[in-house]
Chain A
Amino acid sequence: MKPSSVIMIICICLILSGIPGTVAIDSPQYDKSVNIYLKIDNGQITAKSTEILYGTAPNPFPTQEGFKGELVAADGSIVKTFTVWDPRVQFGDVIVSDANIPRIHGVVDRQNPVDSVVIFPFDPKVTEFRLYNSAEGTLLTSVDLKPHIDSFFASYPNDPDNPALYGSKAPLTVNPIQTMTMDPVVKLSGQVWGILVIGTGAVLILIGAFASVWFLRMKPKSILIVDDNQDIIAVIDGMLKLNGYVTRTATSGEECLKELESAVPDLILLDIGMEPMDGWETLKRIKKNPTFKGIPVMMLTALRLTPKDVENYGIFIEDYVMKPVTEENLKNAIIHIFARREMIKEQIAVATGAGADRDKVCECARLTRIVDVNKRLHDLLIKTYDLEAGVMQGAENEMVLAIKNLEGTFRNQENRLEQIQRSLGSSLMI
């Protein structure tokens, strides 16, 4: 995952956290209806009881026979009039069959006594209900709604229709009308805590993301150990694993080449004294194969390095380590190889980026490696044959001459490298 993606995700999280924590709240419903229960018996209409209930009143039946209802305000003004069906009367239809021809006839069902309910919406202004005979205009019954209103709002004092609230503009009880269910302080502290936790999480994700990027770049190097001695393989394998390397093993040159077919390692540790294909032959085959020739090879052997070996194979190898080897020496040698490759890679990138000549850059990179390898091999030769620099100058034996010849070659390569480096100038500055 790219760091930019991680940052984007964190930003989205932070933006989301900025949206207030809302709870779906439906709009309050304060609809109320006034229910007046009537008893009609032989023309006498009595209001038995009155209830104010929460809920929506039915819509009135438009203009019908029966009675007239009147809603009256405290000042005596009429707020609303409406017709009230005479509840004693129901009417129906009967389908009859006259000689198989259907025909309808009517039925009027008159009941007495009868109970009925008149329902209308609660209106804070209305304090009285009156019922009139539509035809004669005589008052049949009236209901003072005030006691019922008082009784209702005694149970529901915080209802916004409470006339007492209406008048004082303030709640009458110790319980204020609450628009929020949550303590604001508790809510705020919860939100602050939430943001802190989100922030901490975001920082951890950021650290994790950068660590992942770093880790991917620093992923453990894989090393192929090639040696015909299983015991040596086991020792080297243990050393390398202890230092975080991923290892594979091969016990012969042929097996090494097969292993390369399956996966390309970052480094090959190659023994020389193997049968039937020795290490040098294996090296030659590796370097002949275009796919594998770029794999760095370090010779790890009990055989002494000779100037002839350096002359023949020095250009193909990265280092030469003598057995028995200590963990420290092996680790340093490997680190040196990888560091050198990394350094050369960066040099190439910088010089190419600076527009330097590609051929020169490539030659510079190649010579940088060769000169460094030469130096290490030269030091090893001196050490192997116990020839201190001063003593060597006066010596006459073949080994000394061979090394001197090598030194000449090395010097030429160093001079060439210096020459190229000068020509590339500041392009090589990392």
Chain B
Amino acid sequence: MNYRQHILIIGIILGIGIVAVLSGILTYMNAGEPTMKTPAERIQVAPPVQPTPGKNTTTDISLYNLFLSTVDDSNGKPLGSVSVYFDGGYSGSTSDKGTIGILNISRVSEGRHTIRATKSGYTEFSQTLIIPNDSPAKIRLQAQQLVPVQESGSHTTKIDVVFVPSGTSYNCAEQKKISTTRYVTDRSSFIADVNRIVNKSLFTLDSITDKNDPIPADYRDRFNIYYYYDSSEFADAFSGCAGTVPEKFWKTVPFADIVIILYPTYYTLDTGPPCEPNGCVNPGTGRSWMKIPADQQSLFLHECGHAIFGLIDTYCGGTLYWENKPVPNVWSSQDSCMSYAISNSWDSSACRQILQKNPAGCTKEFWRWDADPDIMHEGYSGTFGKASTMRITYIFNNINTWGKTT
């Protein structure tokens, strides 16, 4: 045997050894993972049925293997790590290595069953399957239109804010709703406006709230912020006061605490007859939304004061007033305002009635304490005073009240 033959034989031995070790590791790691080679494989085993009173448990029940494959609906590519729930119970996730996107659920009884599949970034999928006819089943998951801007924690512990683009705006001079293509044709423009309004307005709360009794330093981390962009369907900021959001949105994003319909700009200021509101709020229990123009940063904070923090307008006009207990910025009597001020060691003489001096004629039986320029008074400028700041802090510290009993 010559030199070359020696090298060849040693090379072959080493090569086979390395291949064997690697394939052995893969075999070990993927042990038991299903493949799609045996669809609808029927197995006849004794059913593991729990004895049920009144039922003949000796009946022979056929059990099957249910093979599932999960794919991205947009391109048909296999999708791994999809959580699968069989009849509501978690059955595992589809494989994310080897043969990607496969899950075998064994010992499935004949008949109708429900499959639910979830994956972050995809719309939840739920469907009824008839076994064994529907096995193997292919689940097509649709990419969600929801894009996180900042995710700080679970939906139950954070304020979930979702921005939605509007396909409409309003021309006050002509007194009519107009279509606007800015967000419809330019997604990046919408994203830029979302980022700007978050960073220049929402995340500057600490600079326009009370410095002596500040809001939580980590207030930014108490928000989850998303934007939702569905190029086939846009919100309408001028359908009603607060606008409307596509019904599909609510199904996709059920957890949203506040939905902000963003429209590019409001055309011309109202100089004559009353126009449509620039900003408007519908603070529902379940579906809560508001609209706002992207170019009005102070007004954005004013509307957030309503929609997120439950603050009341302090200007005098045709708006809603009530004493927003337990941490109000508006009181229904001077006495309650003063006693609240005293309890907080504030100057009680700062309590003043909500009224309009110029032109005079507007008076409300409600009192306010925050000094001017109060953003809940001005709308287009100002800061949040002590009372408003205290209310904002209260909301930040009581995000999830579902968990609390009465």
Contact = CB atoms under 8 A, between A and B. Distances in A.
B326 A105 contact: no
Given A13-B21, A107-B318, A160 B89 contact: yes
B86 A158 contact: yes
B402 A57 contact: yes
Interface stretch (A27-35, A136-144, A339-347, A364-372): A27-35
Contacts of A87: 282, 284
Contact of A28 (B48, B90, B405): B90
Contact of B90 (A23, A177, A188, A195): A177
Contacts of A273: none
Interface in B68-114: 81, 83, 85-93, 95-97, 103-109, 113-114
B382 to A, nearest CB: 10
Q: Is the interface of A mostly helix, strand, loop or mixed?
A: mixed
Contacts of A171: 50, 89
Contact of B32 (A91, A116, A186): A186
Contacts of B97: 23
Contact of B17 (A156, A207, A244): A207
B350 interface: no
A180 to B, nearest CB: 7
A118 B250 CA distance: 12
Interface string B7-47: 10110011011111111111111111110000000000001
Nearest to A121: B402
B405 A194 contact: no
B296 interface: yes
A41 to B, nearest CB: 17
A97 B378 CA distance: 13
Nearest to A207: B13
B255 interface: yes
A182 B93 contact: no
B271 A109 contact: no
Contacts of A16: 25
Interface string B227-269: 0000000000000111000000010001111000000001001
Nearest to A170: B50
B310 A63 contact: yes
A398 to B, nearest CB: 48
Nearest to B102: A181
A201 B18 contact: yes
Contacts of A162: 88
Given A90-B280, A91-B280, A91-B281, A194 B27 contact: yes
B24 A201 contact: yes
A26 B3 CA distance: 55
Interface stretch (A48-56, A315-323, A326-334): A48-56
A107 B287 contact: no
Contacts of B26: 194
Which of A25, A102, A208 lies at the interface centre, i.e. has the most chain B CB atoms within 10 A of its CB? A208
Contacts, number: 374
B398 interface: yes
Contact of A190 (B13, B30, B317): B30
B128 to A, nearest CB: 7
B310 A90 contact: no
B124 A246 contact: no
A191 B280 CA distance: 62
A215 to B, nearest CB: 5
A104 B378 contact: yes
Given A80-B406, A94-B277, A117 B81 contact: no
Given A202-B17, A203-B17, A80 B31 contact: no
B152 interface: no
A107 to B, nearest CB: 5
Contacts of B254: 33, 53, 55-58, 119
Contact of B283 (A25, A85, A108): A85
A173 B112 CA distance: 12
Interface in A281-308: none
B21 A95 contact: no
Interface string A194-218: 1111111111111111011001000
Nearest to A174: B109
Nearest to B89: A158
Given A59-B159, A80-B405, A194-B31, A158 B88 contact: yes
A106 B23 contact: no
A190 B92 contact: no
B351 interface: no
B379 A55 contact: no
Counting contact residues on chain B (CB < 8 A from A), the size range is 35 or more
Contact of B313 (A17, A21, A106, A109): A106
Interface in A71-128: 78-85, 87, 89-97, 102, 104-109, 111, 116-121
B357 interface: no
Contacts of A244: 1-3
Contacts of A189: 31
B287 A21 contact: no
Nearest to A218: B6
Nearest to B402: A121
A150 interface: no
A338 interface: no
Which of A80, A187, A201, A246 lies at the interface centre, i.e. has the most chain B CB atoms within 10 A of its CB? A201
B88 A91 contact: no
B17 A201 contact: yes
A355 interface: no
A117 B14 CA distance: 69
Nearest to A194: B28
A126 to B, nearest CB: 11
Contacts of B7: 215
Contact of B326 (A63, A120, A194): A63
A89 B320 contact: yes
B402 A204 contact: no
Nearest to B11: A208
A198 B398 CA distance: 56
Given A21-B28, A107-B241, A119-B254, A91 B109 contact: no
Interface stretch (B194-202, B204-212, B298-306): B298-306
Contacts of A108: 318-320
A268 B77 CA distance: 67
A29 B83 contact: yes
A44 interface: no
Nearest to A34: B286
B149 interface: no
A29 B104 CA distance: 20
A62 B310 contact: yes
Given A24-B93, A30-B88, A93-B299, 16 more contacts: A17-B28, A29-B83, A58-B287, A59-B159, A85-B282, A89-B320, A90-B240, A94-B275, A109-B277, A121-B402, A158-B85, A176-B107, A198-B28, A199-B24, A202-B21, A244-B2
14 contacts: A24-B96, A54-B118, A58-B256, A59-B401, A63-B325, A91-B241, A93-B299, A95-B299, A102-B269, A158-B85, A178-B107, A207-B13, A220-B3, A244-B1
Interface of B: 1-3, 6-7, 9-10, 13-14, 16-34, 47-50, 52, 61, 63, 81, 83, 85-93, 95-97, 103-109, 113-114, 116, 118, 124, 126, 128, 154-156, 159-160, 240-242, 250, 254-257, 266, 269-271, 274-288, 296, 299, 302-303, 306, 310, 313, 315, 317-320, 322, 324-326, 377-380, 394-395, 398-402, 405-406
9 closest Cβ contacts across the A-B interface?
Answer: A156-B88, A106-B319, A190-B31, A158-B89, A201-B20, A194-B28, A187-B32, A92-B277, A92-B280
